[in-house]
Amino acid sequence: MTNNDEDKKQNVWYEHGVKHVVPNKKKLKNLKQNQGLTDEEFDKVYDDKYLSVDKNTLFEKRIQEKLKEFSDEYDLTDMKVNDKASLRALIQGVIALEDYEQMLYQLRTSPTGVDSDNVYIFEKMSKVSSDLRDDISKLQTDLKISRKSRKSDSDASFIDYLEAVKAKARKFYDAKMSYMYCPKCKTLLGTIWTLYPEEKKNKIRLVCNRDIDDNMKCDGEIVIGTKELLDNKGHSELNIVPLRME
């Protein structure tokens, strides 16, 4: 006996590559609780109790598989209730679109192809598929998981990251560098980092040349040691707001 013959005997059917086995219909019809039913009544009971339940189980299984795919790609841990509902609607739309595209493919590749007998059905199914794509796109945008949203979020994240790195670099720079100001005009004349700031023999001499008024220049001068700067928390003067270097 072939596999197909065995499947027919056991009432086996396949959908999306999944094998489904339901109880033998003839045996169930002979059960005491079903003997008083007409064929039509029994068929309805059988379909509702076994086939419908099995298909619902399959549909839920497909939803959970898609949900796993999304969870592999995106962080879903902080999703609110409405976000979860939107995600489920998105997944159902994706599954429905897959089914419609499969049916459209079967129509196109059938022996007769798309002809006058089925063109109306083909057009209706194509319209439904198009509407599904629009709905899916809107849900993706709402959930910020479309390609455009992902790129926008990625750009924003990179900018935030870059600003954070710059802030840390500035903080590190401020902590490591020593600042020397003109004692007269308070202009920042220079910053320096030294390998041996504790060495008392290290001396730095800077002359100010900042333009003041009427072609006058500041003639302030600072001579300071690295040990003095170190003891003064990296500043030649702490009681001033320095002007920038020019």
pLDDT score recorded for residue 84 = 85
Q: Would you say residue 22 has pLDDT above 60?
A: no
pLDDT band at 71 (very low <50, low <70, confident <90, very high): confident
Q: Would you say residue 125 has pLDDT above 70?
A: yes
Contact between 221 and 205 (Cβ < 8 Å): yes
| Alpha-carbon gap, residue 195 to 200, rounded angstroms | 13
pLDDT score recorded for residue 14 = 46
pLDDT score recorded for residue 51 = 56
Q: Would you say residue 205 has pLDDT above 90?
A: yes
pLDDT score recorded for residue 30 = 72
Q: What's the whole-number average pLDDT of the chain?
A: 77
Q: Would you say residue 37 has pLDDT above 50?
A: yes
pLDDT score recorded for residue 224 = 94
The H-or-E segment that residue 204 falls in is strand 203-207
Least confident window among 40-49, 62-71, 102-111, 229-238: 40-49
| Alpha-carbon gap, residue 145 to 151, rounded angstroms | 9
Say what the pTM is: 0.42
Q: Would you say residue 65 has pLDDT above 80?
A: yes
Q: Would you say residue 23 has pLDDT above 90?
A: no
From residue 241, alpha-carbon distances to 138, 189, 233 in Å are 53, 13, 15
Where do the domains of the chain lie?
Answer: 3-152, 177-231
